[in-house]
Structure 1
């Protein structure tokens, strides 16, 4: 009987291993789910292009790029330029799947600014939506570096900032004759947009749509959904259906007026589709809403992508793999007991000699505890916490100190993983191993950006070694070397470790006590 049970258990283990391997092969399959994904544009076939050779590039934008330190465009930027300003001429919606650090932000910012440079009346014509405040700030800076060169204005709309201040920057009051959007409560006064391009997070965007007088998307020409997979995964107050409904309504109004006019003139009119995808096609009187969606891990789920209502979408990607790591990224692992992870991390940070790096954990609470523990040791470099629960002003100050080199190590939750670009980050450390390859890709993408070299270290318990190996195989990464720490470096921190743990315990107890008192008062 015991022998039969052992055979059954062995059979279960074998079947489980087979299912795991089949899952890996399925995830690594190069056959896309959607038909239009089967014939992508391969970005790797493009090369860097010197600015003076970029076709049709406005000389004013060329000068702006040079001031930013660019002498050429990266492959993904060249590929997108070809499909927008070049032969493609925005005839199709674009889906861009490219590793982090390859220049996706400028890839969509540059052609949009070039296209809008000929606008006459100022109104919101381009909307860029991003999942986090920090990422929105970063993207706004890119637009702000090039848009003024051609007379365009860029606005920012994010949470944790004064909505009144935003309204004063986005909307201006003018005399009726110069206006665009009439406010019936203000006699003889109209409300006009102060910006041509708006970079926003979903929640604050919905606030303006629902409550801000004079805020309108009726003139919108370009919609960019950056970090698409995350924005489609989370509801975010149904911002996407709302935006598409507003632009759809405007398109229907346009076609309705056109139909009425045509019937009165010639008595008949060919059927015009109301799906919105016809807008902007050759021979039509009004441009369609052009959509550009981007991610380093672009979803292939038809049910999610269908929410975007894409028009003959074209996929631009850097190969058959959905999950791709930066080309010059080196991956290392450190294997240790779970209770000794802090000691191995301290030894690794000491071995890196103050190199600018980010330490990732799976939750805000864990990041806060680890940051407190690390700062209990006397170290020759500065360590700061960066988490999604901090106020925007605190996060901005911390990030600025990190950028400028005043802080060498950031201990972060996954609020930092998406799209954040901090120059000079040589190293990323996974203190907690991510459960999904998507998270690993976005974390690792904080380094090895723009063709630079970088390293990603992962601290593993004994039981995490095999799952971690399977995780990396989903990104076609089959090797991850063990990183050898110098002898004695770990033990040098062990003496002070009990005292540091005691300080951490005291801190957590005082924090819990403070929260309890505040709860009782409220």
Structure 2
């Protein structure tokens, strides 16, 4: 495979990669980096855990090192937008070691933290600004940041930004950016709306796709248990008891459900914590740090809060509730089997979730192996198998050609005798 040294990166960056013990680029990195170094707009499609951050981060830093001068106060030379606070912090943490020892400044702005402190940081100017769209607009409204000098734009996990409704924020931010500029858009999936987004914000982009959309990492072992909804708590505890020291990420559909599930696990003696939208940024950061260090072994999360979690040691992902959007299943199980490791993804499927599982299997073009229970028949399976389909009329309807039945006449009451 191609070595980082041969991709055309500056000696400063190749030295930083060697210090970080990065020697072999991933497929998305090997294909995207040379294109981005040449100044092309890039549309990158790859599943989670394949190294997308360095695929855009390395050429971005390389370009900035070649540009003279420091950023003026309240300005940024480049902008990276990501959908969640966790992902913003992860991106910044990945890029800082690569910029260490250089003049480049990296700043983050996210909700849930002191906006006055962020205003103070931006007042000095920054080379790389990593932000969530909502907080960035708050800072723009306060005239705390001028984006007119931005010549490099990165949209990371763009599909998730669309799901969260950030397209409206992007329409406000994009006109404020400098031109001409290089734009890189990275995503794990490519819904129709993403095509429209790329046409609107990318110019003659080079498309890089290393895995088909909806395909999970090869080293993930998947299985599903079919059971009643009320039996899920007992099954979850049974699965966790198999390996109490393993790092396990459990996905719930709602914030309330995640919190309730976590409290039940803690009562049972599990080292558990939760992250969801009702938690403060400090609480979420502390929970992820404890999970990364192994102090917490079970982390219960919702989709939005868990986006961007990059912890190589996650051994199991349990879908306690199946996601309503099939793409999110791929993102969820992509939290395991990272950095070349193996992982296991386990789904708990109640009868009312059978349709959701069908959509997931249709997207991934596989059937998830059944670990226990009986898989319900797909809708319309009887008709496809050649069995006669019962044809009955809807309740309350008349057979074709039948006359409506005459309404019954109520016989008038006789007046009572006084």
- After TM superposition, is the score higher than 0.5? yes
Match of 1:208 in 2: 139
Give structure 2 stretches of 5+ with no counterpart.
374-418
The normalised TM-score by structure 2 is 0.83
The structure 2 residue matched to 1:96, chosen from 31, 41, 44, is: 44
Alignment of 1:431-510 (within 5 A): 431-462=320-351, 464-465=353-354, 467-482=356-371
Match of 1:24 in 2: none
CA distance in 2, matches of 1:200, 1:470: 33
Give how far 1:308 is off.
3.4
Q: Is the 8 A contact 1:152 1:196 kept in 2?
A: yes
The structure 2 residue matched to 1:244, chosen from 161, 174, 177, is: 174
* Larger displacement relative to structure 2 (123-132 or 237-246): 237-246
The normalised TM-score by structure 1 is 0.67
CA distance in 2, matches of 1:299, 1:146: 32
CA distance in 1, matches of 2:361, 2:122: 45
Q: Would the alpha carbon gap of residues 115 and 461 (structure 1) be closer, same or farther in structure 2, given more than 3 Å must change? A: same
Match of 1:113 in 2: 61
Match of 1:279 in 2: none
CA distance in 2, matches of 1:63, 1:299: 38
CA distance in 1, matches of 2:77, 2:247: 39
Q: Would the alpha carbon gap of residues 299 and 363 (structure 1) be closer, same or farther in structure 2, given more than 3 Å must change? A: same
Give how far 1:428 is off.
0.1
Q: Would the alpha carbon gap of residues 57 and 457 (structure 1) be closer, same or farther in structure 2, given more than 3 Å must change? A: same
Give structure 1 stretches of 5+ with no counterpart.
1-46, 173-192, 252-287, 485-522
Give how far 1:471 is off.
2.0
Q: Is the 8 A contact 2:43 2:198 kept in 1?
A: no
Match of 2:265 in 1: 374
Alignment of 1:204-353 (within 5 A): 204-213=135-144, 215-236=145-166, 238-247=168-177, 251=179, 288-301=180-193, 304-305=196-197, 308-319=200-211, 321-353=212-244
Give how far 1:199 is off.
0.2
Give how far 1:459 is off.
0.8
Alignment of 1:368-407 (within 5 A): 368-378=259-269, 381-407=270-296
Match of 2:403 in 1: none
Match of 1:196 in 2: 127
Q: Which one has a larger percent helix, Structure 1 or Structure 2? A: 1
Deviations 1:388-445 (A, max 9, x none): 2111111111110000010100011112442321120011000011122111011111
CA distance in 1, matches of 2:263, 2:20: 37
Deviations 1:43-100 (A, max 9, x none): xxxx4x3333x23222221222233232221111111112122xxx123x21111010
Give how far 1:212 is off.
3.0
Secondary structure of 2:192 counterpart: coil
**Aligned residue-pair number:** 369
Deviations 1:452-487 (A, max 9, x none): 211100012245456524422311223424169xxx
Q: Would the alpha carbon gap of residues 361 and 479 (structure 1) be closer, same or farther in structure 2, given more than 3 Å must change? A: closer
